Amino acid sequence: MAANEKLREKISHLPHRPGIYKFFDDEGIIYVGKAIDIRKRVSSYFNRSAQHNKKTLKLISKIKDIEFTIVDTEADAFLLENNLIKQYQPKYNILLKDGKTYPYICIVNERFPRVISTRNKINDGSRYFGPYPSGTTMHIVLDLIRTLYPLRTCTYNLSPENIAAGKFKVCLEYHIGNCKGPCEDLIDETTYNQYIAQIRNILSGNLSIAKTYFKERMAEAAADYQYEQAHRYKQKLDLLEDYQAKSTVVSNTLSNIDVFTITSNEKCAFVNYLKVMNGSIIQTQSLELHKKLDESDEELLATVIVQLRHEFESTSREIITNIELTLPLDNITITQPQIGDKRKLLNLSLKNAMYLRKEREGRQEQNKSLGEQRELRVLETLKKDLRLTELPRQIECFDNSNFQGDNPVASMVCFKNGKPSKKDYRHFHIKSVVGPNDFESMYEVVTRRYRRLLEEKQPLPQLIIIDGGKGQLSFAVQALKDLNLWGQIAIVGIAKRLEEIFYPGDKLPLYIDKKSESLKLIQRLRNEAHRFAITFHRSRRDAGTLKTELTDVKGIGPTTADALLQKFRSVKKLKELTLAELTEEVGQRKAQILYDYFRSSEEGSA
């Protein structure tokens, strides 16, 4: 059974139930999707009347197998899809990766916990806060915490047994007041853990508990006439007030809200996320997503919301967005506010997303402009080095390939404005030359190429490069003369050994500086033409070997051999077919002949 028929058979047995589906190629999972009805969704990919874009058609062409998992609800499918994408990172799914590792503040899971910065989240029971958009932002928060609370920074194992045994001594941090000395049992664990609880609240955006704590301590110290201690508490309270004032205050009426906005172009989407607690924006992140299958803004934003809420440990039950969106998640309200403080918050988020888009698109335009300037500079250098009369915006390079005189072929590659134009590449079967004659072969392919351009009234190149020495160059020149093109197109040859550039009629070669950009461009053309010719030659040689092997089998003629060659390309793939699959291709009689032949050849080689 052919691959497509196997897939159709499998699709016909898919369930009409909610769940996820996985597409596989020969190497593994390439796409994970969710569906309310698995069979309907998967069938839509293979519906011939469906108008799929090029990226989706490419995905479909790669599918070799399908698996599925049934779940109870659409919400379960939504969450399972997200988990599988993160686990397998399929090629055709959008992944939230931007090449950066953002910093976190970590409360380490240990006795007398440390509070540290890290870029790696480890599943060890520690509590992570973030990620922070920059190391500077993270360090501001970390410095505030270390100023407010005297925490240890050492990495000692402060188990009760080690402390009781007197294994550790206080360090300089204790003597300058930055640590209370838990290593010598100078602070009890309950008091230390109160500090940690307040730090958790601060990192979660809830400053009220810490502020109340310092106000109460300040009042108690003042009541006991400990004015210096009261002043120290007052300073810490001021630090908290100052930190809160520097946060972006939206409205005291807003509590726990997630804000997501998206804007996109044909290739990318730009998303901004704001996490709001107690009327202040406590975390923000902007992302650029590269589209894989021309996904809609709704699909992209749904994926981002689930992943970022998990990343930032959001428990908000309210999400506001700039597009209409439905998420199959319980107890979540999604709105698009039109007026009021929530609308202002939405506009702020959208402004950040638009700024990222403008900055990235501007950078792309700048890079494109710089690339065009560099390409123009290289072409100007090439024009000068080769003493050309016009800028070589279109360059074509020819190369021959044969193996001991068999299957002679040639290739032509075309560069436009210094870059490969692969749609203009051409392969040539050598038709008029008998035996391994590179000179005559070069004459033939140059003649055929430019006769066709003349007939079709296509633009001619400004420069032709011949991969070879004087002999091949002279035959190419003769071809141009016979076409009345001599003098209209510049032509040179490049010899491989010393990278010598030969001009028609000039006995002495030109040597271009090895570091020159123009020589590197010529070498790129020569190497690309050689690669293109060799690849074509190998495919023809392999095809010839396969066809010869098949036609040597009694009862298998050239027509059958050609048909099998066209579809399977190699004997190995043919040998893997079952008798039923061979029968489907060539009929019962010929299938039995081939099947017996392949089995006997395997036994003979054993």
pLDDT one-digit tens code per residue, 141-185? 788 888 888 999 999 999 999 999 999 999 999 998 889 999 999
Cβ atoms within 10 Å of 387's Cβ, excluding its own: 9
- Listed by start position, the domains of the chain span 5-88, 104-206, 257-360, 394-538, 553-603
* C-alpha to C-alpha distance for 29 and 10, rounded to whole angstroms: 17
Please give the C-alpha separations between residue 306 and each of 82, 189, 267, 280, 443, in angstroms, as whole numbers: 7, 37, 22, 22, 63
Dig out the tokens for 211 from the structure: 């502020």
Encode pLDDT of 557-577 as tens digits: 777 776 776 677 666 677 778
- Residue 283 makes CB contacts below 8 A (sequence gap 6+) with 130, 132, 205, 273, 274, 275, 312
**What confidence tier does 329 reach under pLDDT thresholds 50, 70, 90?**
confident
| Location of structure tokens 């107690």 | 278
The rounded Cα 449 to chain-centroid distance in angstroms is 39
* C-alpha to C-alpha distance for 7 and 26, rounded to whole angstroms: 14
pLDDT mean across residues, the chain: 82
* C-alpha to C-alpha distance for 94 and 303, rounded to whole angstroms: 8
The reply to whether 394-538 shares the fold of 257-360 is yes
Task: Name which residue leads in pLDDT, 390 or 551.
Answer: 390
Output the CA angle 418-419-424, nearest 5 degrees.
115
- 552: pLDDT strictly greater than 70: no
Q: If you average pLDDT over residues 498-511, what whole number do you get?
A: 83
Encode pLDDT of 410-424 as tens digits: 889 999 998 899 889
Residue 340, pLDDT score = 84
- 86: pLDDT strictly greater than 90: no
Residue 591, pLDDT score = 82
Classify strands 426-429 and 419-420 as parallel, antiparallel or unpaired: unpaired
CATH for 5-88 is 3.40.1440.10
- 250: pLDDT strictly greater than 60: no
Dig out the tokens for 430 from the structure: 């050598």
Nearest Cα residue to 462 out of 542, 382, 538, 520: 382
CATH for 394-538 is 3.30.420.340
The reported pTM is: 0.52
Task: Name which residue leads in pLDDT, 76 or 190.
Answer: 190
Pick the CATH number of 257-360 from 3.30.420, 2.60.40, 3.30.230, 3.30.70: 3.30.420
